[in-house]
Structure 1
Amino acid sequence: MTVKQALNIVKLKKMKAEGVPLSMLTAYDYPSAALAEEAGVDVILVGDSLGNVVLGYNSTLPVTIDDMVYHTRSVARGAEHTFIVADMPFMTYHGSIDVTLGHVRRLIQEGHAHAVKMEGGLEICPAVSAIVSAGVPVLGHIGLTPQSVNTIGGYRVQGKDPEDAVRLMREAKALEQAGAFGIVLELVTEEVAEAISRELSIPTIGIGAGRYCDGQVLVFHDILKYTSSYREKRFVKTYADVGGVIKDAIGQYVQDVKQRAFPEERHVFGADEEVLHTLYGAAGKGAR
């Protein structure tokens, strides 16, 4: 079997130039990463969305750098031949450059990521430049930026008026100039996302940003309905109801245990007569 070759930022930019769409999926642990790699995903994002879908928070804000390092390292073990991007969590890249680079170092050296992702526009460009200069690829992220949800008024579609469209275009160009190898566009109107994608030489990866980005990203748990109570999202296409299957299977297990239908004889290990004699004496097995 041919071993899959991981992409890199040069190949990613070449895919954009050749019009080859990029597939990106989040993953947060070893088994999800291994399955994503086996399925042929181009890029795995270890998103701080793990706060919502794995850790049970109601936003990404409580996610720490320790959380991200731990989960990134798990993903890296499961997807050794896939390009892995790790999110920089809330407030880990808004202080001094030295502190920012320290967090980046952990994601690369301890987490084994190939690149980091950062939310924001003009205000983070100096940090992007410094990180790229240090030798680490950076994926930008504009539009709806969940880490800023409290300042942008909730989970709203971006680029719905001329001023906002101009702002997004300006931010995208600034991130490209700062050295970002690509940009995630989240919850951006399709027309604005298309215009940005045409203007940039680096790939755009959309989530809720329409059909004309250079690639798409979705959350592992969304495409599989891997949750106890799934909330439908307009921009998500679900491909399986894994959550329902898991819940039904666990329910059947509970029922089997209650009814003593599990374990069956085929699930147990028997002892020889010498062991039985030691335990029960001459009565042997029949004493039980």
Structure 2
Amino acid sequence: MKTYVLKRILSLIPVLFIVSIMVFIIIHLTPGDPASVILGEEASEESRAELREELGLNLPIHQQYFDWILGVLRGDLGDSFFMQQPVTQAIFEHLGPTLSLTILSQITAIIIALPLGIMAAKRRGTFTDQSFMALSLLGISIPNFLLGLFLILILAVNLQWLPVAGYQPLSAGLFNHLKFLIMPAIALGTMQAALIARMTRSSMLETINTNFIKTAWSKGLHERKVIYKHALRNSFIPILTVIGQTFGMLIAGAAVTETVFNIPGLGQLIMNSVERRDYAVIQGTVLFITVSYVFINLFVDLMYGIIDPRVRLNQK
């Protein structure tokens, strides 16, 4: 197991190196002069030149990358020109709302998807199966921002059950915290629920038709034991893969939902920084989200070896 874990961790080094290069290049290839955007069109050329020098934008791009990556390795993502604070501090100030939203969205998606996927597999070809798959297709097709607007119109405006938008931290009370996150969590998690449900159904169908499941049925084992203990466990690796990928997608895709519901998370931080061309914040936040996605996939990779020991044996 130690060898398996070590190999997986070492494999991340080139991935993270490539990710850092891509993040840096994409940000710096954006057209337009950052100094002009920051200071405005009326600023003098001398002021713009001073700002370029202050931000290091007058250096060759390879030197800018080298200086930036050295700071990243020291845990220094730079300073925000507009917020006048370290980028690391800005990220952690906005991390709480995004983390709460993504965790609640993922929990909602799993609670909805797993039972529906298992039930659809058990009743393959029936009206129930076809109905669930039609709903999952609808869930994949509707953009989360559009679903969010529908939820606001129905639940907040017409029925007035929930607040239209905003955010309350957990310190304000669990009920108040969840009250502001229910609609965005449903809007953000619906597509993920549809993906997980379809993968659950597909993976369960493959396992249910195997010989060892037929043997379990022939022994007269209870349906719940056959389905949940034997079939679901042996089907769970592809399901876990989708869950891990969708959780990373939730973190990366929360920007639009946070904008619709006015949640002060990482998404809003990126959107505001893009408008102001705050390079340090954009680079640091995008890198943080990307690295988080990579480590989520590492965690899922390690879970493979726990769920199915054959994975560890194959990696020797």
TM-score scaled by structure 1? 0.26
- The structure that is helix-richer by fraction is 2
Report which of the two has the higher share of strand: 1
Higher relative contact order (CA 8 A, sep 6+): 2
